[in-house]
Amino acid sequence: MTKLSVNINKIATLRNARGGNVPDLLKVAADVQRFGAQGVTIHPRPDERHIRYQDARDLIDVVYTEYNIEGNPMDDFMNLVLECKPTQVTLVPDAVDAITSNAGWDTVKHQAYLKEIITEFQRNNIRTSIFVDPVLEIIEGAKVTGTDRIELYTEAFAHQYGLGNHKAIEPYTKAAELANSLGLGINAGHDLSLDNIEFFKQNIPGLLEVSIGHALISEAIYLGLENVVCLYNQKLRD
Ligand SMILES: CC(=O)[C@@H](O)[C@H](O)COP(=O)(O)O
Ligand SMILES: NCC(=O)COP(=O)(O)O
């Protein structure tokens, strides 16, 4: 069974739009777990445009499944993760002004840097995962960093699959086979959705966890919209 970790960034985006506490991020985190998610993911960004650093702290008492914090390991992020002690930290090399995560690590070029950071998190009993493209040298480089897991960056797969190009899965399958042979755990995420998740899962041996946010929250809106419009109409009847 592959674990589903729900990324709740978008709930915080919606909350921040009005400055209050609707929707309630902590309630959503509690609810997704009650509904069956095996993990909660957040990606606090330096500008706190969605998840705030205080949210990461408040979630410690709410997340009783796997708590996964993603981000670029700059000093503030490192300190936050070491304070929160989540189940897993996922290191993502995104620029401060990136709209969303848009690249995996170059695990060859940044090997010494990653090794040092990974060692620090592991010393604090935090499992590590690093965000990578499905490139064989990059997977080999990831092994040398000492990371427990990799997270396959699935944007390219999701995009191509949406265009009908099912062959786009091939580099991911090969990367997963190599990761398995090297003893690296495999996570995956970015733009996974109800449309592509089944095919992805079927083609990735040993897929331990997927973190899904943007599509899942959008799908929740669509799948809940009919119900909510009906509920309003019931209350508005003469
Ligand atoms: C690491 C990754 O793939 C991300 O998808 C991410 O956590 C989403 O971040 P945003 O919600 O800020 O786009
Ligand atoms: N690690 C990927 C993640 O948490 C969610 O990415 P997305 O589903 O919002 O694209």
Best of 190, 191, 193, 217 to mutate for ligand 2, by most ligand atoms within 8 A of CB?
Answer: 190
pLDDT digits (tens, 9 = 90+) for 90-108: 999 988 888 899 999 999 9
Q: Is residue 219 scored above 90 in pLDDT?
A: yes
Q: Angle formed by the axes of helices 136-145 and 170-182, to 10°?
A: 30
pLDDT in tens, 149-203: 999 999 999 999 999 999 999 999 999 999 999 999 999 999 999 999 999 999 9
* pLDDT attached to residue 97: 87
pLDDT at position 42, please?
Answer: 98
54-91 as b/e, with b when 16 or more CB fall inside 10 Å?
Answer: ebbeebeebbebbbbbbbbbeeebbebbeebebbbbbb
Q: Answer whether 91 contacts ligand 2 (Cβ < 6 A).
A: no
For residue 125, pLDDT over 90 is answered with: yes
Q: Rounded to two decimals, what is the model's pTM?
A: 0.97
Is the beta carbon of 92 within 6 A of some atom in ligand 2?
A: no
Task: For the chain, give every domain's residue range.
Answer: 3-236
pLDDT of the residue at 105: 98
Give the ipTM: 0.96
Report how far residue 83's alpha carbon sits from residue 61's, in angstroms, rounded to the nearest whole number.
13
166 is in an annotated binding site: no
pLDDT at residue 96, as a whole number? 87
pLDDT at 30: 98
70 as an active site residue: the answer is: yes
Confirm or deny that 45 is annotated as ligand binding: yes
100 in a labelled binding site = yes
Instruction: List phi, psi (to 5°) of 93.
Output: -85, 50
Q: What confidence score (pLDDT) does residue 3 get?
A: 98
Calculate what percentage of the chain has a pLDDT beyond 90: 97
- Considering 66, 151, 190, 209, which one is annotated as catalytic? 190
Q: Rounded CA gap, 41 and 46, in Å? A: 16
Point out which residues pair with 132 in neighbouring strands.
152
Residue 83 is predicted with a pLDDT of: 98
Superfamily of domain 3-236: Aldolase class I (3.20.20.70)
